[in-house]
Amino acid sequence: MGSAVYVQLSGTNVTPYLTPSANHPNPAHYNVTLSLSGAGGFASSVVITPSLVDVSDAAYAATAASWVYNSYNNPQVTEASFQTGPGNPTNLDPKPTQTAKLCSVSASGASTVTVTGLSYGKAVIEVAYPTFDGSEGFITAGGTSYPKDKIFALLDVKIVT
């Protein structure tokens, strides 16, 4: 078909939420479990390899753009940041940590990314490629360049102790 329309992810223990079948679109939604201690046979990090496919699941070779990886985590929360009153906890269990980072990703641009669990919890990693090989341009926010339009896959990461 000649046009990238889906991002597929592969890596050790990375599984799609739905298994794509012939003539059906790729779900572009994956999950993986990481362990901070290596318990349960889970690693503390995983190398993710994204690939582009067209509408018929044929491989598409990227030509001019680079991959962009984002780790979306819970915002930094502390007990002191909550207002007291009805519906607002004063004794949170478990105690929130000072660390907002649950999961890190290695630098954008590379053809693979290492996802590493940093704290117990859940995180979402976005793996994106610019639509039309980046011909629509990029925007810069917070010192990072993002494609104006993108195709992407999400990786839900569960981090256990």
Which residue type sits at 107? Answer: A
Is there a domain that residue 85 lies in? no
22, part of any domain: yes
15: which strand partners? 31
Domain hosting 43: range is 6-78+90-160
- 149 lies in some domain: yes
pLDDT tens digit sequence for 60-116 = 877 666 788 887 774 444 444 444 444 444 444 444 444 457 888 887 677 888 999
**How many domains does the chain divide into?**
1
CATH label of the domain that carries residue 29: 2.60.40.10
Any domain includes 104: yes
Could you tell me the two tokens for 35? 């362990």
Q: Is residue 83 in a domain?
A: no
- Count CA atoms closer than 13 A to 52's CA, side-chain side: 22
Length reported for the chain: 161
Domain membership of residue 42 (yes or no) is yes
Whether residue 1 lies inside any domain: the answer is no
* pTM reported for the whole predicted model: 0.72
Rounded to whole angstroms, the Cα distance separating 104 from 114 reads 8
Which pLDDT score is estimated for 88? 40
Across the strands, what pairs with 68? Answer: 128
The two tokens of residue 112 are 């693979």
Structural domain includes residue 121:
yes
Q: Give the model confidence (pLDDT) of 109-155 as tens digits.
A: 778 889 999 888 888 888 888 877 666 777 776 666 666 778 889 99
Structural contact between residues 54 and 2, judged by C-beta atoms closer than 8 angstroms: yes
